[in-house]
Structure 1
Amino acid sequence: MLAPDYQPGPWAEQWNQEIIDDFFDTTVRRKLERPDITRATCIGLAREILGTEEIEPARIQGVCSFTLISRSKGKVVQFRRHALDDDMLSLASSIYGGLTPRLSRYTFEDGNDFPIPTYIANVAPGVHMMCLPQPPFPVDKLCRTVSDLADFFAKPVQVSDQRQSARHPDGYAAPAAKRLDSVLEHPAFKRNATTATMDFVKHVREHVHLIDSLPLVLTHTDVIPMNMFANPDDGSITSVIDWDHACIDIFGKSMWSLYEGFVTYTIDDVTHVQEQRDVIENVFWTRLWESVKPRLTPEVDGPAVRASMAVGAIARYLRFRTLDEIGDNDDVASSFWRTKAFLPLLPRIT
C-alpha cells in the first residue's frame, strides 16, 4: 500500500486535474456521449462498490483512467477509457504473479456493466515511483531497481506459453523498416531533429532486419516510473501497473525505458544523465543476459535486442501525429524534445 509519508511533487496537483478533466470531457462526454456520468457519479459508485465513504482520487492519475482509492479497505476502483484485454491480463498474471495487479471487472447484480469499464483491484504494494524523493536517486537503490527491471523484461522469455508464439506472417522487420523510412522523410523530422538523432535513426534503419530473429513475448509497452511501485528502502520493484496496451511483440522493444526512466531523469523539463550511468547500464545488461540464457546470448542476439529496443524507442515518440503537430501542441513538442535528449544515449546496435 502507498505509504502516507510519500507524497508526489507540486507538479502532481496540476497534472491530476488536467488528466481528470480530460478523461471526463474527452472520453466520457465526447467519445462515450455520456455527459450524465461525472466525477461525482464515479465516486458515488466506488463508495457503493467498496461499502465505504472513505474514497479519494489516486495521487498519480493515469492518462487512460480515473482511479479512486480506499486506503482503509486497501482497494482501488478504476474507471477506464477502454476495457482491458482479458487474455493479456491472464498471461501477465501467469508470468509475473503478484508483480501485476489482479483486476476484476465490476458488473451490477443484474449482470450489466457500468457504461465506463470499471475494475477493482488491491492497492499496489510499495510506493509509487513518482512519489519517491526527487532524483537523482542513490545509486545503490537505482541499481537494485534496474536489476529488477532486467528481470521483468527477461521473465516472459523464461516462460513457455503458446499465447506468446503467434508470429506475424510478414515478419516485423519489414513494417518497421517502412515506418523508419517514413520518419526519415518526414519534413518536421528533417527540420527539427538534431544531427545525433538523425544519425541514430539512420543507424537503426540499417540494422532493423535483425529483429525478426528474436522471440515474441508478452510486452508491457510503457514500463516507466509513472507505472511502477517500489520499496523505498532498497529500490526493489514491487508492482507494475497499467497494462492497457500490453501485447505480444518482439523481445526488447520496451527496453528503451531503461534510458528514459533510469539512465536519465527530468527536473523542470530539463533532462539530466545519471552521473554513474555506466554502472547503471552495466547492472541492467549483465542481469538481463544472465536471466535469458541459454535461449538468448549477448554474442549472438545482442545486436538484434539493441535494434528492437531502438525501434521501440522511435515508435514511442516519433509517431506521425507527434511530427505533424510540432509547433502547434506544447505537449507534442515536449515529447519530441525529450526524445532528442535520450534517444542518442541508446547503445549502438553494432
Structure 2
Amino acid sequence: MALETHVKAGVALPKGWVQSEQETINEFFEEKVPAALKERAARNPSISSKSCSASECLQYAKVLMQGMSIYLVDHQGCNSYTLICPELDRIIQFRAAELSTKAIDEAKQMYGDLVAGTTQHNDFVLPVYTYNILPGQLHVWQKVSRGSFPLAREKRTIIDLAIFIATASHFPHPKARYNARSWTECANAAVKRLEQNFSLRQIAPAVYTELASLRARLHLLDILPAVLTHVDLGGQNIFVDGDVGTLTGVIDFEEARTEAFGINIFTIYENHVGSMEDGHWSPYDMPAGQEHPGLSVSEVLTKAFWDALWASTAPGLGRRDFEEAVGVALRVGIINRYFVRGMLDEIDLAKRVHVISLDYAKEILLYLRDTRR
C-alpha cells in the first residue's frame, strides 16, 4: 500500500532517494521480518503468525493514531519501518526486534528532552513503539557545501555533540556493567588479531602500525569511566535546528550500551569533521575564512569539539590526565566500526566492503595521527 513521504519544507531529497528507501523497506518486510517472526515463534509457541506486511502495519498505525493522516518518514532505518502522524506529533515504528527500553529510559533521565518519550505497544505481531516528535530536522538532510561551508552552524552542532558525549561522564556505571561482547572488553583480543593480520600489514602498513601500537596502551581504558554510550552519532540519528545548528534531539538508543568513555567519538570524525563521499573519507580541509586565518574548517571544528568536551566532563576527568586514554578509546571505536565484522584476520580487496571500510579507517586514523589526537 503506497504512502506519501513526509518531508519538511525546504529539505531537498537526494537523487535516487525514493528508490533507495523502497529497497530498504522491501528488504525489511521480505527478509528481516520473516526471519524475526520465525525466531520469535520458535521461542514462544503462542506466536503463530509468520508474516506481516506494510499494509498491516499501516492499518495498525491508523488505529493507534485514531484515524489521523499517516506518512512515511523521510529516512527509513534498516531494521524498522517508521511512520509519522504530524497531527498528533507522534512517530510510529515497527521493528524486527524489541528495543532495549532500559537504555532509552536511562538516556531520558540523562538527557531530558533531547530523547523522545517512548511507549511500547504489545498487541501487534511485531514490536511497535510510538515516540514524541523531536523538534528540528535530521542533520543528514542539512545542506553542507564545501564551497560555502556553514561553519557557524556546524560548529554549534559539534559543540553540542561534545557536551552530549561529556554528559555521560557524570553518570558512571560500575565496570561490571560491561557486556562480555562490549567493544571495551573485546579490545585486547581484537588488537591481538590485527597484529597477526599479515594482509593488513602488507596492504596498509601505516594503518597496521597505528593499530598495532595500541596494544601497549589498551590498559588506559581501565582508567576511563564506564558510561552509557550511543555508538552512532551520525547525521541520521541527530536532530538539529535547521538555522543555527543547535542539537535538538538524538534517536536510536536501542543499541546504546555501557562502554569506556569516549569510544563513540569516532562518529564525530566520520560525519562532522569530514565527510564520506564515493567510498572515501576526507576532512573539511578548505580555509575556514577571515575569522580563522590560516586554519581549515576541520581544524576549527576539531578544536571546538575537544575544547567543549573537556570543559563539560565530570569533575576529576581532566584533559591532562585522561586525554591519551580517550584517544585510545576513540581508536578502539574505529576498530569496531571497520574491522570487527570480517576484517580482523584478513583483508580481501576483492570484496568492495573491505576496500571501502579500509579506506575509511585509514583516512581517519592517519588524520588523527597527523593532528596528534
TM-score by length of 1: 0.89
The 8 Å contact of residues 8 and 130 in structure 1, kept in 2 or not, is answered as no
Indicate yes or no: 2:134 matched with 1:94: no
Over the matched positions of the two proteins, sequence identity in percent amounts to 26
Residue 293 (structure 1) shift: 4.7
Q: 1:291 to 1:11 in 2, by over 3 A?
A: farther
Distance 1:207 1:256 in 2: 18
CA distance in 2 between counterparts of 1:331 and 1:121 reads 34
Q: How does 1:199-238 map to 2 (within 5 A)?
A: 199-238=209-248
Query: Partners of 2:341 and 2:158 in 1: how far apart?
Result: 31
1:149 aligns with 2:161: yes
The more displaced of 18-27 and 323-332 is: 323-332
Residue 340 of structure 1 and its aligned partner are, at CA, apart by 2.5
What is the deviation of 1:53? 4.9
Partner SS for 1:104: strand
1:126 partnered with 2:131: no
Quote the offset at 1:71 in angstroms. 1.9
Per the alignment, residue 88 of structure 2 pairs with 73
**Does residue 178 of the first structure (1) align with residue 200 of the second (2)?**
no
Distance in 2 of aligned mates of 1:119 and 1:257 = 26
In the aligned structure 1, how far is the partner of 2:309 from the partner of 2:15?
Answer: 35
Instruction: Name structure 1 gaps, 5 residues minimum.
Output: 108-112
C-alpha distance in 1 between matches for 2:189 and 2:279: 32
Q: Distance in 2 between matches of 1:284 and 1:46?
A: 40
Evaluate the alpha carbon distance shift between residue 126 and residue 69 of structure 1 in structure 2; reply closer, same or farther with a 3 A threshold.
same
List per-residue Cα deviations over 1:238-257 (Å, max 9, x = no partner). Answer: 11111121111110010111
Mapped pair 1:26 → 2:31: yes
8 A contact 2:82–2:94 mirrored in 1: yes
Question: Following the alignment from structure 2 to structure 1, what is the Cα–Cα distance between the partners of residues 349 and 52?
Answer: 34
Are the structure 2 counterparts of residues 140 and 169 from structure 1 closer, same or farther at C-alpha, using a change threshold of 3 Å? Answer: closer
Cα distance in 2 for residues equivalent to 1:178 and 1:128 = 36
Q: CA deviation at 1:197?
A: 1.6
For 1:313, the aligned partner's letter is: I
Deviations 1:134-182 (A, max 9, x none): 444411111111100110101121236xxx2243599986741121111
Q: What is the SS of the residue equivalent to 2:126? A: coil
For 1:247-274, what per-residue CA distance to the aligned partner results, in whole angstroms no more than 9, with x for missing partners?
Answer: 1111001011111111111234343311
The structure 1 residue matched to 2:76, chosen from 61, 79, 94, is 61
- CA shift for structure 1 position 216: 0.7
CA RMSD between the two structures:
2.6
Aligned partner of 1:288 in structure 2 is: 309
Q: Distance in 2 between matches of 1:313 and 1:251?
A: 14
Unaligned runs of 5+ in 2: 1-5, 39-48, 286-296
Alignment partner, residue 304 of structure 1: 325
CA distance in 1, matches of 2:118, 2:202: 45
Query: For 1:271 and 1:9, how far apart are their aligned partners in 2?
Result: 19
What's the CA shift for 1:52? 2.7
- Tell me the secondary structure at the aligned position of residue 225 of structure 1: coil
> Does residue 16 of the first structure (1) align with residue 21 of the second (2)?
yes
Shift of 1:326: 4.4
* Matched AA of 1:21: N
In the aligned structure 2, how far is the partner of 1:230 from the partner of 1:157? Answer: 23
